[in-house]
Chains A and B, each alone.
Chain A
Amino acid sequence: GAGVSQTPSNKVTEKGKYVELRCDPISGHTALYWYRQSLGQGPEFLIYFQGTGAADDSGLPNDRFFAVRPEGSVSTLKIQRTERGDSAVYLCASSSRGLNTEAFFGQGTRLTVV
């Protein structure tokens, strides 16, 4: 596709449930980022992939959050035992080489935990 694609665009789930959020980056981009944006705040870094490996996962808030990128393209962010505080817009971005190159963002997945 032409840009970063995120699915679903909206997700409502019950507290305690498991959710998966998908990111399809721009073709050929080796770097992929996940961010979380709460209402009225700037995006907060979660995890950065270079290829298939997580080069920096220092932003993941706790062990309920996990992300994979098994083939170096599509990535899935997984949240276990969701809590109401997980409600936010989850943003994915990709860039051609990572550091210092422009990151292109998707439109995000709005997660609501009820």
Chain B
Amino acid sequence: AQSVTQLDSHVSVSEGTPVLLRCNYSSSYSPSLFWYVQHPNKGLQLLLKYTSAATLVKGINGFEAEFKKSETSFHLTKPSAHMSDAAEYFCVVGNYGGSQGNLIFGKGTKLSVKP
């Protein structure tokens, strides 16, 4: 069975400093992995996705994530945080076995950015 664990429920950084949001996954297959962002009162938006191509995936707004099979991790990073990055971030694994076809979300990490 597939699952994801987001290791931090809340991360606080200062504007201009690096961001690291941690995610570990469990999957019976070669996984498809995603990061979604949810701003207050807005819909979920895809930041980036990994589907067995390059292990370093670049997304929107300067975010990137590295797939590490040996560590079963897919951490999200950004070199320099911006105030507009404050939001809830979800690590997601695709559950594609047999007739299944859904996305399994982690519990989320709330990112706060201090001026």
Contact = CB atoms under 8 A, between A and B. Distances in A.
A111 to B, nearest CB: 16
Given A99-B94, A100-B51, A44 B105 contact: yes
Interface string B72-106: 00000000000000000010001110011111111
B108 A41 contact: yes
A55 B46 CA distance: 23
B43 A4 contact: yes
A42 B106 contact: yes
Contacts of A90: none
Nearest to B110: A40
Contacts of B45: 105
A43 B90 contact: yes
Interface residues of B, number: 24
A98 to B, nearest CB: 5
A91 interface: yes
A44 B108 CA distance: 12
A58 B95 CA distance: 12
A62 to B, nearest CB: 18
B43 A98 contact: no
Interface of B: 32, 36, 41-46, 49, 51, 90, 94-96, 99-108
Interface of A: 3-4, 31, 33, 35, 40-45, 48, 50, 55-56, 58-59, 91, 93, 98-100, 102-108
23 contacts: A41-B107, A42-B107, A43-B44, A43-B105, A44-B105, A45-B95, A45-B102, A45-B103, A45-B104, A48-B100, A56-B99, A58-B100, A91-B43, A91-B44, A93-B44, A98-B101, A99-B32, A99-B101, A100-B94, A102-B49, A103-B46, A107-B42, A107-B43
Given A43-B90, A58-B100, 20 more contacts: A33-B102, A35-B105, A40-B108, A41-B107, A42-B107, A43-B44, A43-B103, A44-B105, A45-B103, A48-B102, A55-B99, A56-B101, A59-B102, A98-B101, A99-B32, A99-B94, A100-B51, A102-B46, A105-B36, A107-B42
